[in-house]
Amino acid sequence: MSNVEERFRKMVEDSQDWFWEFDENANFTYVSPGIRNLLGYEPEELIGVNAFDLMDADEAQRVRRHFDPIAKKYLPFKNLENVNIHKDGYKVVIESSGTPIFDKAGRFRGYRGIDRDITERKATEEALRQSQANLYEAKHMAKVGSWQFDIENNRLTWSDETYRIFGFKPQSFDANYEAFFDAVHPDDRALVSDAYSGSIRHGQNDYEIEHRIIRKETGEVRYVHEKCRHERDASGKAVQSIGMVQDITERKVTEMALLAATQAAEAANRAKGLFLAKVSHEIRTPLTTIVGFGELLEDAELTSEHRKYLAAINAASNTLSLLINDILDLSKIDAGELVIRLEDVHLPNLIDKLAKSQELQIAKHSLSLHVSIDADVPDLLVGDPLRIQQVLHNLLGNAIKFTAQGAISIDVSVLEEGASRVLLDISVTDTGIGIAAELHERIFEPFAQVFDANSRHYSGSGLGLSISRSLAGLMGGTVELESQVGTGSAFHLLIPLQKKTVDISEKPLPEIEPISGSMPALNILLVEDNQINIQFIKTVLENLGHKVMTAENGKVALDYLNTNVFDLVLMDIEMPVINGIDTLKTLRELEPLSGKHLTVIALTAYALMGDREKYLKMGFDGFLKKPFTTRELVNELIRVVPG
Ligand code: ADP
């Protein structure tokens, strides 16, 4: 054997592929050792074995259909795929190539060739094919199309799905920019072209937009989401854009329907709230008269029978007043009309005042009250003291109402402390009847009570907790409950409050001037919505010997003026419900009926528009610019009060 032959022999014998020869009947006459690697046989095992016996019957039949016509013509074959069975029984995908063998006389003697295992390659190809199919399917299902725009040559290519999204048969024409732009909803065309050319001009490579298209055939409007990316050459010039377009009509329609429904529901709730607010406000006016006259009647001479009736009327009208106030609050919250104010909150004072207001009730029930405020709770914070007080009043009132014996405690602690805010836990704990776990959430709903109000055992409307939680929510907090039947309840007002940086707590009230000799004691109505101002002005006036009634806005003031006689009105200008100017207008319009002129002083914080002349022209008798001193107040009183 020559060197060359030897080298070829070695190559054949060492190869991982399998070299073979078979005769005209396809029975093997030579099998290289590569067979071990490929099908697990020893070469000599296969000598004389038919090549098609290495396949199962169906596969053999399939392969013969390809092979026989080739063999008939003694042609070579290349990369003929066939599945053989490994000695261990599993399938191996093989690629066979062969050339015919002829003997010296030129007679066909069989084939000589090489087989190669392509199982792995086939598996990869199959996986790729499958994933492409999946992608296609997914794109179709998600209604995602793709496109490519060759900017240089002004050529646009669309995927099948893109054609479908735009309402065309896939590849039914050559896509172009005009066809696309034509389909864009006329109102969205500027948006689309600005996004596209704008991003190219400004060197921005990616953008996303949502716009509408109109399908030409049907006139149907669809919503699409487009994502686009520009590819630029070395000089930064955009040469190609690729993009995807997704039909989002269903999502958009659902979103819009949801939004409309939410808006309608909110509007309905607001309308309900406004209606209730109006009605309860209207009820409050005559009710004030009933309560007022009821109280007056108590001083009259009555028979004991009549006194009993009167007590019942007064008790009922008081209950009604409380209920109306609750409904008014709840409806204001629903109507979004309840405004949270930011003022100084001095917690120790606030809780002290609260405890004092309930002293009688606590004593009546033979309960004890303990207050503890942790040392790290800042004395002075910023929040809405009135609303905090209202929530705690509700909670304390309930604790007293539902506790037959034992103790009630109010504890204040810091839950979290930040640089400018603290989260406080103000809890009201009682040793009362407790609340079953399954009712812990329900009792916060309006009108929800554990015991039916008709049982008459416990009074109340079932609105207190609902209002308390809503108020806490408006202040950024909430009300939580821990309770066990028979052991007691702990209601926690969790509320964030701002820290006050400079401590100006308890600024002393200004020096009080002695009552001026000539000034008579006056019946004054103070119309003002700011609690701090009320406190200040009221104290000054009362110390001067005057009687002061307060109204928190113009509407309430007009109600009071209906049923009471005042010598003087101090009227704030900026107030909710009815402002000072409108209140004065109404008041002056009614004056011809009574024939009396009521002296009204304007209180204004608006220094800029606050020139005295302007207010006097409007019909005010006097004018005070906030903040004013006691001296200024007294001087203005002396100036405007006749005599
Ligand atoms: P009201 O007290 O006017 O009925 P609330 O909304 O304040 O309305 O309370 C709702 C219900 O929750 C009460 O009727 C009562 O059944 C229950 N409840 C509230 N506070 C307590 C408490 N401290 N102990 C036991 N039950 C309570």
CATH assignment of the domain containing 451? 3.30.565.10
Q: Given this model, what pLDDT does residue 274 score?
A: 79
Task: State in Å, rounded, how far the first CA of the chain is from the last one.
Answer: 147
What backbone torsions phi and psi does residue 450 show, to the nearest 5 degrees? -70, -40
409 touches 371 (CB < 8 A): yes
Quick one: tokens of 335?
Answer: 């109507």
> Shortest CA distance to 569 belongs to which of 589, 577, 580?
580
Mean pLDDT for 379-398 is: 92
**Ligand 1 within 6 A of 464 CB?**
yes
Residues 493, 530 share a domain? no
Q: Which 3 state secondary structure label does DSSP give 474? A: helix
**Ligand 1 within 6 A of 399 CB?**
yes
pLDDT of 305 over the 60 cut: yes
Report CA 39 to chain centroid distance, whole Å: 65
Domain extent, residue 591, equals: 523-640
> Shortest CA distance to 325 belongs to which of 510, 463, 182, 148?
463
Burial grade of 483 (CB within 10 A; 0-12, 13-18, 19 or more): buried
**Ligand 1 within 6 A of 444 CB?**
no
Q: Which 3 state secondary structure label does DSSP give 456? A: coil
pLDDT of 131 over the 90 cut: no
Indicate the top mutation candidate among 443, 484, 487, 492 to test ligand 1's pocket, ranked by most ligand atoms within 8 A of CB.
Answer: 443
Max mean pLDDT range (24-33, 360-369, 535-544, 634-643): 24-33
DSSP state letters, 54-106:
GS-HHHHHHHHHHHHHHHHTT--EEEEEEEEEPTTS-EEEEEEEEEEEE-TT-
573 touches 603 (CB < 8 A): yes
pLDDT of 454 over the 80 cut: no
Q: Given this model, what pLDDT does residue 514 score?
A: 43
Q: How many domains in the chain?
A: 4
Residues 495, 372 share a domain? yes
Q: How far is the CA of 495 from the centre of ligand 1 (A)?
A: 21
**Ligand 1 within 6 A of 451 CB?**
yes
The 10s digit of each residue's pLDDT in 405-443 is 999 999 999 998 888 889 999 999 999 999 999 999 899
Residues near 548 by beta carbon (within 8 Å), at least 6 away in sequence = 524, 525, 526, 537, 538, 541, 542
**Ligand 1 within 6 A of 100 CB?**
no
- Where is average pLDDT lowest: 43-52, 194-203, 507-516? 507-516
Q: Given this model, what pLDDT does residue 513 score?
A: 41
pLDDT of 531 over the 80 cut: no
Of 214, 247, 280, the residue at which a domain comes to its end is 247
Q: Given this model, what pLDDT does residue 490 score?
A: 97
* CA neighbours closer than 13 Å in the CB half-sphere of residue 299: 4
Q: How far is the CA of 449 from the centre of ligand 1 (A)?
A: 6
Of ligand 1's listed atoms, the one at least distance from the Cα of 399 is 23
pLDDT of 211 over the 90 cut: yes
pLDDT confidence tier of residue 533, bands split at 50, 70 and 90: confident
pLDDT of 82 over the 70 cut: yes
* Among protein residues, the one whose CA lies closest to atom 14 of ligand 1: 449
Q: Given this model, what pLDDT does residue 510 score?
A: 41
pLDDT of 609 over the 70 cut: no
Residues 591, 552 share a domain? yes
Partner residues linked to 158 by β-bridges: 147
* Among protein residues, the one whose CA lies closest to atom 7 of ligand 1: 464
pLDDT confidence tier of residue 604, bands split at 50, 70 and 90: confident
**Residue, of 184 and 628, whose pLDDT is higher:** 184
β-pairing verdict for 380-383 and 488-499: antiparallel
Residues 539, 409 share a domain? no
Please give the mean pLDDT across all residues of the chain: 87
**Residue, of 388 and 453, whose pLDDT is higher:** 388
Q: Identity (one letter) of the amino acid at 312?
A: A
* Among protein residues, the one whose CA lies closest to atom 20 of ligand 1: 398
Report the distance separating Cα 96 and Cα 213, nearest Å.
54
Domain assignment of residue 454, yes or no: yes
**Ligand 1 within 6 A of 397 CB?**
no
Q: Given this model, what pLDDT does residue 26 score?
A: 95
Please report, for the domain that includes residue 583, its CATH number.
3.40.50.2300
pLDDT of 501 over the 70 cut: no
Helix 385-401 to helix 347-357 angle (10° resolution) is 40
Mean pLDDT for 561-575 is: 88
Residues 30, 159 share a domain? no
Domain assignment of residue 338, yes or no: no
pLDDT confidence tier of residue 605, bands split at 50, 70 and 90: low
**Ligand 1 within 6 A of 82 CB?**
no
> Shortest CA distance to 495 belongs to which of 392, 594, 575?
392
Residue with tokens 């006691």: 630
Edge-to-edge strands, sheet with 221-232: 155-158, 144-150, 238-247, 221-232, 206-214
DSSP state letters, 304-353:
HHHHHHHHHHHHHHHHHHHHHHHHHHHHHHHTT-PPPP-EEEEHHHHHHH
pLDDT of 297 over the 90 cut: no
Q: How far is the CA of 413 from the centre of ligand 1 (A)?
A: 24
Domain assignment of residue 527, yes or no: yes
Report the distance separating Cα 593 and Cα 285, nearest Å.
20
pLDDT of 518 over the 70 cut: no
Q: Given this model, what pLDDT does residue 321 score?
A: 83
Q: Given this model, what pLDDT does residue 608 score?
A: 41
What backbone torsions phi and psi does residue 544 show, to the nearest 5 degrees? -80, -5
Residues near 317 by beta carbon (within 8 Å), at least 6 away in sequence = 287, 290, 291, 294
Residues 479, 598 share a domain? no
Domain assignment of residue 578, yes or no: yes
* Among protein residues, the one whose CA lies closest to atom 23 of ligand 1: 399
Residue with tokens 């209604």: 143
Residues 561, 479 share a domain? no
Mean pLDDT for 530-556 is: 84
Report the distance separating Cα 412 and Cα 492, nearest Å.
9
**Ligand 1 within 6 A of 580 CB?**
no
Residues 114, 66 share a domain? yes
pLDDT confidence tier of residue 512, bands split at 50, 70 and 90: very low
pLDDT of 517 over the 70 cut: no
**Ligand 1 within 6 A of 449 CB?**
yes
**Ligand 1 within 6 A of 398 CB?**
yes
Domain assignment of residue 616, yes or no: yes
Domain assignment of residue 516, yes or no: no
Q: Given this model, what pLDDT does residue 414 score?
A: 94
Q: Given this model, what pLDDT does residue 503 score?
A: 39
Residues 528, 480 share a domain? no
- Where is average pLDDT lowest: 106-110, 453-457, 529-533, 578-582? 453-457
The 10s digit of each residue's pLDDT in 327-357 is 888 888 877 778 888 889 999 999 999 998 8
